Amino acid sequence: MKPHIVLIAVLLGAAVPAVAHAQSPPAPARPRADVAGTIGWLSGNKSTLAGESHNDWYNRGLYGGVTAGWYWTEHHKMEVEAGLTNDIDFQTYRSTYVDGVQAWGGSVFNYTLRRVAVGELYQGLHNAWVHPYAGAGVDLTWERSIEHRDRVMAYDPRTGMSRELSPPATIGPTTTLRVRPYLETGFKAYVSPRAFFRGDLRLIVYRGIDEVVLRCGFGVDF
């Protein structure tokens, strides 16, 4: 995952001066509040389920959300977000021994995430077209999961044949609430005195990096 995170950070950093160069004064006035719609890419750490699979992250999540912010001061802002994902699949396999005979099977986990996040941001610069920001907050995610378990097969070397130990099964759906802190960095770039483009990178933390969300979107100041 580290190369993905580095690449994302480089892209965000390159986007800031590119957007800034395309703008011209006058700069926008300080807003009291803003609202934005975002869409992005989400990747999650599932190393606890990976078994003997080579990949312990899912990275096929399409994420969409709405954010609303309130400026306490020119630089300090509280932000609330509501968002959700599409259906995300994560495949894993495992092997074990039953009565001295090796058995193997696999599962496909299907996830859907819905979240509410509340955070505090610090927004840099004064009276500028582009404002970088950084912040932290608390993320509440409702994770709905369904496990589609393959049949478990065993190979008996004495007979040279495989036999089925358990049939395919579906487990769930189950919904789990996860409460985790997050760190965020990004920028807000104005395309008119009130309308803006925003892009950011969010890292949700739980015993290390648990989830990575890369977002972009458009919004308006009030």
Rounded Cα distance, 71 and 78, in Å: 6
Give 69-123 pLDDT, tens digit per residue: 999 999 999 999 999 999 999 988 877 776 667 777 788 999 999 999 999 999 9
CA distance 28 to 16: 17
Q: What is the DSSP string of 160-177?
A: TEEEEEE--EEEEEEEEE
Please name which of 100, 117, 116, 109 lies closest in space to residue 44, comparing C-alpha atoms: 109
118-146 average pLDDT score? 96
The fraction of the chain above a pLDDT of 70, given in percent, is 82
As given in the structure block, the two tokens for residue 90 are 């994560």
Is CATH 2.40.160.20 correct for 2-221?
A: yes
Instruction: List, in sequence order, every residue forming a beta bridge with 220; answer none if it has no partner.
Output: 35, 195
Distances, alpha carbon 21 to alpha carbons 26, 189, 216, 220, in Å: 14, 11, 19, 20
Specify whether the backbone of 54 is left (phi greater than 0), alpha (psi in -120 to 50) or beta.
alpha
pLDDT tens digits, one per residue of 183-209: 999 999 999 999 999 999 999 999 899
Q: How far apart are CA 188 and CA 135, in angstroms?
A: 13
Give, as one character, the DSSP assignment of residue 99. T
Residues across the chain: 222
Residue with token string 């912010």: 69
For the stretch 144-172, pLDDT in tens is 999 998 888 777 777 777 777 778 899 99
**And the tokens for 65?**
């959300």
